Structure 1
Amino acid sequence: MSAEAIALVTAVLQNRLAAAVGGPVYVGPPIAEDVGTRTLSLCLYQAVPNQELRNERHYVASAGDPDGPLVEAAALPLDLRYLVSVFRSAGTGGMGDPNELITLGQAVRALHEQPFIDDAQVPGQLVRITPEPYTVEELSRIWGLFPDSSYRTSMVYLLSPVTVTLDPMPAGPAVVERTSRQGPFTEREQS
């Protein structure tokens, strides 16, 4: 299932923000022409392995028996960082828009009220949503990724861990007979 984990978690986050601000949220780089009339953009700008969990074992339900015992699966837990940026309402020109700050407040409140994405929303996931303190210098480096865009009021959110797993291997048939061979090795190494 988990190849879709990043997309599903992003969709849940987008829907949560859209409900908070009362309108659609653009997913992608915060470029004004692409954002259009939407007042909020959500941009995944970094996905890195979670340092604390990358060597931990991960268990999932067996593919053939979801109610059966959990089986170990190869997994990569990720930390996803999103840039949440607000855009001015149409018609405000270069003047600051007080609605821009209200939109940011609505987004922050929604993510603070519901700081988790759980198994009911994305199967197999329990993801914490945390605001990250970024300095002006760090934010300007992020905005440097978009050289044709003007800076917008923004916050960075960490979603962690988002786990990408391989499908578990199906259980093989039970061992019914064992064969033991004894004696010297008959083939000799060729020199």
Structure 2
Amino acid sequence: MILGKFLFIFLLVIIGFLISIFSIYFTEIMNVFIKKTPKYDPTIENNISDLLFYIFLLYIPSAFIFYVYYVPNVYVINGCDSYVAQVLVFPKESANLKMKLDSDYCYILNKSSSPIHISTLVYDMSQSDLNKKLLQEARGEKYEHKKITGYIYDGKYVNGIIGPNEELKLYNEEVHYVFAEPEKRVNVKYKGKLRYKLSCSG
């Protein structure tokens, strides 16, 4: 299931609100529906009330962890310069792509009739072995390296076309520039050297 980001967050807030309301007014609910029965046991009410309280305490951090670590971004392209940013709430499988809950990935669904170009921008190109590898990888050249230290971007460089009604799984948590001009300089310590860009093809 794919939902809009604001709708998903709104649903999380509503569920938390309902849990809190139910835990606050649980005694009144018991008074109406259960205390009228002859086999009423007050210890059950206390146990359930405590359980609801613990559920409410655990709900907020659990929802936060689920959103940060398991909910991937989904970019639905409706046309050139037109898209909707959504999130994947439940795993989904299409004819060409299996979408799973893992925020290390994101998905691009081209629902338009136009091809979309995806490219990788490499920042902070100093003369280190890693950066030389990235430059030659970007040029389509083979790089013979002795030993590369640091984070290796193998399989993360993308430069191609997403055709109409095609889908792409990107090995990154987000697309940084969707039909927008990229920045000239970025803080590479925060999100690394690579940025991803979607643009109109042709």
Q: Taking structure 1 as the reference length, what is the TM-score of the superposition? A: 0.22
The higher relative CO (CA closer than 8 Å, separation ≥ 6) is in: 1
Q: Taking structure 2 as the reference length, what is the TM-score of the superposition? A: 0.21
